[in-house]
Amino acid sequence: MAVVVALAVLLVVGAAAWGWFEAGWLRTRVVHVEIAGLPAAFDGLRIAHLSDFHLGPPSRGQAAVERAVAWVEQRRPDLVCVTGDLVSHPRGERRFRALLARLDRPLVVLGNHDVAVTRDPFSRKAELDDLADLAVLLRDESTTFERDGVVAQLVGVDAESYPRGEARPWELVDGAAGLRILLCHFPGIARRLPEGAFHLVLAGHLHAGQISLPVPGRRVTLAHPRARYVAGLYDTPGGVMHVSPGLGTTFVPFRFFSRPEATEIVLRARPVHGGAGPGSE
């Protein structure tokens, strides 16, 4: 009996040690996404996608965030997009602002932790409405930029209106824009979008499950076992969606088979004869 107890304790300690280690074991990935009808001006556009920093509570996820920001600084992409759950406790706010200042005015949307809509007992709302000097914060708003005379539109979904069912980002769409990108913390937005509303949708929220089981051929997530969009690329009627695995942790400071990730998305014009062909390098 004593041997069984000792083995059980060893297993629990080993699992906790691994989960703590994996929470800071950053993966960096470059993903090529083919977009039908993409104007030549945006062929090759590089977008860094970061999400779910969850700064504040103790976690090796904070080390993953630091490494992700350093990687983006080195890569110097054309755009940086951050899709919410930035700070899980006010004590992480100063660190977040310092990191944001290194990202050359990224496009940012908030997540449910940022507005204290969460069941996490360790989460506290931070004050993130005054980011104008560091980032472009979109709360049911849009912004544009031009490249070679062609307009790109970026729309951001607010983390408070979305849970109430009030967010309607498709109503902000400029049909004349050559590229339309939606930022929303919640992958479930894909179920609400009209067909063809956006070319690219960026989301986060689920941390690639954070606690997952390595079942061959599929990902079984304990926190969200029925979630349809967990991590990676998905072809949806409203646009190709990339769901970031995120960088931080919530509830527990561990990850299992759900490494944190910083992603660079490279847009490519889809060949006329081809189908969707997202890939990575």
Rounded distance, CA 10 to CA 176, Å?
A: 61
Give the model confidence (pLDDT) of 81-132 as tens digits. Answer: 999 999 988 888 899 999 999 998 999 999 998 886 555 544 555 657 778 7
- pLDDT score for 114: 85
The residue that leads in pLDDT, 17 or 248, is 248
Rounded distance, CA 219 to CA 208, Å?
A: 9
The residue that leads in pLDDT, 266 or 277, is 266
Give the mean pLDDT of 207-229: 78
Q: Is the pLDDT of residue 10 over 80?
A: no
Question: Angle 61-75/93-100 helices, nearest 10 degrees?
Answer: 10
- pLDDT score for 214: 73
Neighbouring CB atoms inside 10 A of 171's CB total 10
- pLDDT score for 109: 96
Residues near 92 by beta carbon (within 8 Å), at least 6 away in sequence: 53, 54, 55, 56, 57, 62, 126
Rounded distance, CA 255 to CA 19, Å?
A: 5
Q: Which amino acid is at 53?
A: F
Name the CATH code of domain 2-280 (choices 3.40.50.12780, 1.10.10.10, 3.60.21.10, 3.40.50.1980): 3.60.21.10
Burial of 58 (0-12, 13-18, 19+ CB in 10 A): exposed
Q: Is the pLDDT of residue 13 over 80?
A: no
Which letter, b or e, does each residue of 102-116 get, where b requires 16 or more Cβ atoms within 10 Å of its Cβ? Answer: ebeebbbbbbbbbbe
Whether residue 201 contacts residue 108, with contact meaning beta carbons closer than 8 Å, is answered with no
Domain coordinates of the chain in residue numbers? 2-280
- pLDDT score for 279: 58
Q: Is the pLDDT of residue 4 over 80?
A: no
Residue 180 confidence class, pLDDT cut points 50, 70, 90: very high
pTM, two decimals, is 0.90
- What distance, in Å, lies between the first and last C-alpha atoms of the chain? 50
Residues near 165 by beta carbon (within 8 Å), at least 6 away in sequence: none
Give the mean pLDDT of 10-16: 66
Rounded distance, CA 29 to CA 48, Å?
A: 10
The residue that leads in pLDDT, 203 or 23, is 203
Rounded distance, CA 260 to CA 249, Å?
A: 9
Q: Is the pLDDT of residue 249 over 60?
A: yes
Helix, strand, coil distribution of the chain in percent, nearest 5? 25, 25, 50
Range name among 9-23, 94-108, 133-147 with the lowest pLDDT average? 9-23
Residue from 63, 66, 64, 29 nearest 48 by CA = 29
Rounded distance, CA 64 to CA 36, Å?
A: 34
Whether residue 279 contacts residue 30, with contact meaning beta carbons closer than 8 Å, is answered with no
Which residue in this structure is represented by tokens 């950053």? 26
Give the model confidence (pLDDT) of 44-86 as tens digits. Answer: 999 999 999 999 988 999 999 999 999 999 999 999 999 999 9
The residue that leads in pLDDT, 254 or 275, is 254
